[in-house]
Every structure is written in C-alpha cells, then in structure tokens.
Structure 1
Amino acid sequence: MSTRSQLTQQLGVVAGFDDPRVDLEQYRTPPELASYLVHVADLQGDIEDRTVIDLGCGTGMLGLAATLRGPRRVVGVDIDDAALGTAQENRRRIAATSSVSWVQADATQIPLDPSDGVTVVMNPPFGAQNGNEHADRAFLETTAEIAEVSYSIHNAGSADFVESFATDHGGEMTHAYSAEFDLPKTFEHQSEQSRTIDVELFRIEW
C-alpha cells in the first residue's frame, strides 16, 4: 500500500475544472485533502474490496484516489458532463487499474441501487451561494439511502449538524478529523488569489 505522501504525489496530475460553475461551487479538491480522506478510510477498512461511490465527483479527485487503494469498483456521479469528461481524462493520467464508471446524474437523486457494501466519499457543496444553502444536507440524504459508511468534507463547525443529521437518519458519526482546504482564486467574486479554510472530515456508519 502506498503511503499517504505517495498517494498525494500520484494525485498531483489530476486536473481541475476547465470552466468551473459557481452555481455548483466547483472547486478542485486539493490532492493533500483527498489523500488524507482516502488514507483514513483505507485504514478503517472502508476502501479495499468495496464499492466506492464519489457523490458530486467533479473531475474525479476522491474517486480516483480510492482507485489506488484496491476497491472492488468506483462509481463517480456528477451532474456536469464536462466535469465527467475531465474525470475520464484524469483516470488515464493516473493509470487507474480498478474498475471505474462515470454516471451523469444529480447526486441528490442518484439512479443507482447498489446491493453490495458501499462506501461514499464526497466533497459536497458547502452551500455558500445564494439559493444553494444547505446543499450538503441533500448529499447526506442520498448517502443515508445507499451507503454503509461515508466520508465527507464540510465547513469547520459542522460537527453538531452532521452528528444530528446522522442520528436522525439511523446513522452514527464515529470519527471527526480537522483539515485544511486550499482554495486558489476560481471565480471573479473572489478577491484573494488564494486562501486556506478550515474544514472537517466526518466518518458516518449508516
């Protein structure tokens, strides 16, 4: 098994969005953060020989990270066809050998009914845009329906909400991890060339 540092290096070739959409809050998940999430999930036994579904996969960073840790298969779901095209290119860049499928669909209305053990990994929208508030809730609702276990990235300070949501939907938040999310300037409304925000990773058993 590659180390977390090696996994980060492998993910360095994963391209971001060619034309990111502000309404979908499309930011490239940093390789360091993706490798952290997947490394932790793998140590918990939640990647190898399992089906991994990357909800709102964008250009595939989390799902492709999972392919490098021996899953049974990986499925990436995103509403943006252009992003999925980049995800397919990214698969070739990292030379993934695990089975990978890309599905164009609304991640909150997923057209999948997986029957085997499913781990969901996701970096859902934080709901920062007007009209997009609580977007992460819809992603969690889908996750509660299809996953045995999930790993998700949220704004720092979301622990009470995520834990309460999990409990109300028959789940249990078992682990919480602090991390950082490096955000380069992506949209015109951003005044800084880059900034780092605090985030949290949560593991939930459903």
Structure 2
Amino acid sequence: MKKIIRKKHLEMRIQSIPSHPKPKVELEQYATPSVIASDLLWNALSLGDIENKNILDLGCGCGIFSIGSMLLGANSAIGVDIDEDAINVARQCSEEFDIDNINYIISDVCDLENNFDVDTIFQNPPFGSQKRADKGMDLNFVKKSHEISPDVLYSFHMASTEEFLIDYYEKLSFDITHIFRYSFPIPKIYEFHTKESRNVDVIVIRAST
C-alpha cells in the first residue's frame, strides 16, 4: 500500500514547488496557492478520485496538481502545458521529489489527442480576462476534457460565471456533483497590476461523465 502524506504536509510540499520564473501575461499564468491546491486535492482524495488513479493535469503550469496527486497515492500523472518554461520547472521539481510515473507534455491543450487512459482530470485554465481573443478558453478546456472522457473532472472557473457554466456542463452531459468555492489571491506580477494583491472569487466544479 502506498504511504499517503497528511494534508498539512501536502500543503508544505506544494508550497515548496517553485513559481514560474517568467510568467506570461497572454497565458494568464497565476500559480494556484498551496492552501487552495492542497484543500482541493484532499477533497478529491476523500472522494476516491486520486489514490490508485491515473491523473491528467491540463494547463499544469509548474506541476502542482500532477505532483500533489502523486504525493497522495495516484498511480500515474500526466501534466500538459503549452509553456516549455513551466514544464521545465515541473520536471525538475518532480525529479527533486523523486516521483516516478509522472510525465509532462508540451502542447496546447486544445490540440491534444483524446486517447488518454485517465480517471481524473484537474485543470486551472486561463479565463480569458486579459486577452479578448482568449475569452472562453476555460470552456475549451471543459470541452477537451469531455472529449477525453475521464470518470471525474475538477475545473477552476470565475465564480461570476457559475450560472452559465452549470448550463454549459449540463449540455455536455456532465453531472455536476460538487462546487468548491475559494478566494483566489492574484499577486502583482504583471506590469498592468496596480495593487500588490487582490482576491478573486473562483469555483471548482467537480463533474462526472
């Protein structure tokens, strides 16, 4: 049986994952805070969605959900991100944590083939709030997840779009089982930011296929 770390230790390990060295504004790269990531992962674990499961982390960034899932006893994890810099950080961190059965793919999520054998998908997609052409990108992630057809999907979204999202998920024949709510801190990392930090209300939808 795999040894699973405690929630507090999980948060501490996630917190030690380096931030993106050069976040790109057009990709809306904001690291998921360790307290939020560890809480969501722990909820997923308690719901039977991680231990001995195959995990796919879409828009994985520096690998928080890929690595966190493996620390909680996942069978395997695959992280996908379009940004090579982020993938390099994730790979290095996975090696330092001595984690096996974890792989990373540099790719636009929308260009992925649908032949993944996964049980659970985690995704924290860009919301398209900074670049008009990217508006609705989170919906493209949801659509791709539906095509891959995991047992369970965990997906971050702006809380202000909740009503629309529920309708969108239902039209794709997803069954929404849980909605987790978080206050997501946005740090001052881009030139257009005028405040040191601001909080944004987000939801994470857990949906089954």
TM-score range, shorter chain: over 0.9
The match for 1:124 is 125
How many percent of aligned residue pairs carry the same amino acid?
30
C-alpha distance 80-175 of structure 1, shift in aligned 2 (>3 A): same
Matched, 1:46 2:72: no
Task: Give me the whole-angstrom Cα distance separating, in 2, the residues matched to 1:19 and 1:27.
Answer: 11
AA matched with 1:187 = Y
Alignment partner of 1:97 out of 96, 99, 111: 99
Matched, 1:192 2:195: yes
Task: Give me the whole-angstrom Cα distance separating, in 2, the residues matched to 1:9 and 1:118.
Answer: 26
Alignment partner of 1:145 out of 140, 144, 147: 147
Normalised by the size of structure 2, how large is the TM-score?
Answer: 0.92
The match for 2:159 is 156
AA matched with 1:40 = N
Matched, 1:9 2:5: no
The match for 2:64 is 61
The CA deviation string for residues 28-55 of structure 1, in whole angstroms up to 9 with x for no partner, is 1111111111111111100111111000
Query: Over aligned residue pairs, what C-alpha RMSD do you find?
Result: 1.4
Alignment partner of 2:34 out of 25, 31, 34: 31
Judge conservation of contact 1:57–1:76 (CA < 8 Å) in 2: yes
Judge conservation of contact 1:74–1:99 (CA < 8 Å) in 2: yes
The CA deviation string for residues 121-179 of structure 1, in whole angstroms up to 9 with x for no partner, is 01111111222111100000011111221111111133222221221112111101111
AA matched with 1:124 = P
The CA deviation string for residues 95-123 of structure 1, in whole angstroms up to 9 with x for no partner, is 153410000111122135123x4200011
SS at match of 2:156: strand
Runs of 4 or more off by more than 4 Å in structure 1?
A: none
Normalised by the size of structure 1, how large is the TM-score?
Answer: 0.94
Unaligned runs of 5+ in 1: none
CA shift at 1:92, angstroms? 2.9
- Size of the aligned set, in residue pairs, is 204
C-alpha distance 31-127 of structure 1, shift in aligned 2 (>3 A): same
